Amino acid sequence: MRKCVAATAVAATGLSGLVLGSGTATADSACPDTYVVAVPGTWETGVDKDDNVRGGGMLAGVTEGLPGTMRVDYVDYSATAFPWEGDVYGASEKEARDNARGLIADMAAHCGGTKYAIVGYSQGADAAGDVAAEIGTGHGVVPADKVVAVGLVSDPKRSPADTQVGPPVGGSGAEGARPGGFGQLTDRVRTVCAEGDLYCATEDTDYISRLAGFVAAVSGGNAADMWRYQLQAVNLASDLMSHGGIGALQSQLTGDANEQRVKQIEDFYGTGYHTSYGTYAVGGGQTAISWMHSFIAGAA
């Protein structure tokens, strides 16, 4: 059964079915100084996961052992990607975004002085980054000055303009950058992407992969996001036309090109780059996950 562990003041309002607490909550029922909303990646949560599994995954090392003035809740959502699993990627990511937004709004309604940190991994970074972008561009559920830190691990919408932690990695997220970026939150957002992780480091000239990422993003068919889809489509089309147009696209659809792409994807899944962040070194003796832990803890 899905549970919601939140501050007593929030739980009393009937918030349920969205999250599982991580066990790093404040010791009493007072509003936390900082509320950390963590969005796990694909298959790390969902209806098929037992309660004792939720709250783990890649972000466990980020959220465990945070200062006692912080409260952590994990967003519970479908966390699926393919039609045969239930929700397609676009619908699943929208659910994660809606649930994360709802948690922040409910906390803000009862704890006016609380600040917020948002962290996500993979599909969860997609949703966490979207929520942060809404807030940073003035369309979120809290003002931008309420958010103290945003940490994104393997963000499918990573932009080359985002502040990157660790060795610089080329390309962009497979879905393309968020239109408008992070606005007022730009200086508080940190992203990490491992070399070779195709989710967050797709080559700019790999138009087939970028098109596949775009299709995944719009698969939920959410009318409210139509403006975002249109801008992403225009950006993708404009980039393609400035680098050879249809001819460039056709050159990536030849038999040899398709064989190379299949091999690239097979090699990618065999390397484990996407799940390497617990050991991926970003400098200073820290891994991506330990660095993100320090970053979020430092925002307390």
Q: Distance between CA atoms of 9 and 29, rounded to whole angstroms?
A: 7
Q: Distance between CA atoms of 205 and 243, rounded to whole angstroms?
A: 8
Tens of pLDDT along the chain (300 residues) come to 333 333 333 333 333 334 444 444 443 358 999 999 999 998 898 766 554 445 669 999 999 999 999 999 999 998 886 654 557 888 899 999 999 999 999 999 999 999 999 999 999 999 999 999 999 999 999 999 999 999 999 999 999 999 999 999 999 898 888 988 999 999 999 999 998 898 999 876 665 666 666 666 666 666 666 666 666 666 666 665 666 667 656 665 677 656 665 556 656 556 788 899 999 999 999 999 999 999 999 998
User: Sign of torsion, CA 78 280 296 68?
Assistant: positive
Adjacent-strand bridge partners of 283: 286
Q: Distance between CA atoms of 71 and 178, rounded to whole angstroms?
A: 28
Q: Distance between CA atoms of 211 and 233, rounded to whole angstroms?
A: 9
Domains observed in the chain:
8-203+274-297 (3.40.50.1820)
User: Sign of torsion, CA 60 124 91 262?
Assistant: negative
Q: What are phi and psi of 164, to 5 degrees?
A: -100, 140
Going by C-alpha positions, the residue among 13, 33, 23, 6 that lies closest to residue 296 is 33
Return the structure tokens found at 169.
């990695």
Q: What is the pTM of this model?
A: 0.75
